Amino acid sequence: QVQLVESGGALVQAGGSLRLSCAASGRTFSGNRYAMGWFRQAPGKEHEFIAAINWSGGTTYYADSVKGRFTISRDRAKNTVYLQMNSLRPEDTAVYYCAADTRRTMPTMIWGNFNYWGQGTQVTVSS
């Protein structure tokens, strides 16, 4: 089992920045050589892919809606994944979830392909 705990969500004004963190703990898989990702869910909407990163941190993927504004990174020594969010917009308001896919070293962008998820952290962007 892998436990994921997100932190860093807050209320912020449009144009502001936040950094989300996701700390992984529990059983390690292949020396933590697995893909990680961030998704979000706004009220009444499906889970939306935001960003993903491969096991080494050398390959990243982003949704078009956040490309150029958000940056995903990981610190393998700390078993932590980060999501730096800049130039936030009201439409970025959602619950943000960290996810791990321990079956793959390269990430996909599909919520159902990940097999561990955090509890979520609320990000609210006011206009």
Distance of CA 2 to the CA centre of its chain: 15
Whether the pLDDT of residue 27 is over 80: the answer is: no
Q: What is the model's pLDDT at position 46?
A: 95
Q: List Cα–Cα distances, 79 to 54, 59, 93, 99, 127, in angstroms.
A: 13, 17, 26, 13, 34
Judge whether residue 30 has pLDDT over 60: no
CA separation (Å) from 44 to 49, 65, 96, 101?
Answer: 16, 18, 14, 25
Mean pLDDT over each residue of the chain, to the nearest integer: 93
pLDDT value at residue 117: 96
Name the most confidently modeled range: 48-52, 55-59, 101-105, 110-114: 48-52
Cα–Cα distance measured from residue 1 to residue 3, given in angstroms and rounded to the nearest whole number: 7
Res 26: pLDDT: 83
Q: What is the mean pLDDT of residues 34-48?
A: 95
| Token pair in block for residue 34 | 């697995």
pLDDT tens per residue, range 96-124: 999 999 998 888 999 999 999 999 999 99
Task: Determine what percent of the chain is predicted with pLDDT higher than 70.
Answer: 95
pLDDT value at residue 28: 61
Residue 20 has pLDDT above 60, yes or no: yes
**Whole-number pLDDT of residue 33:** 82
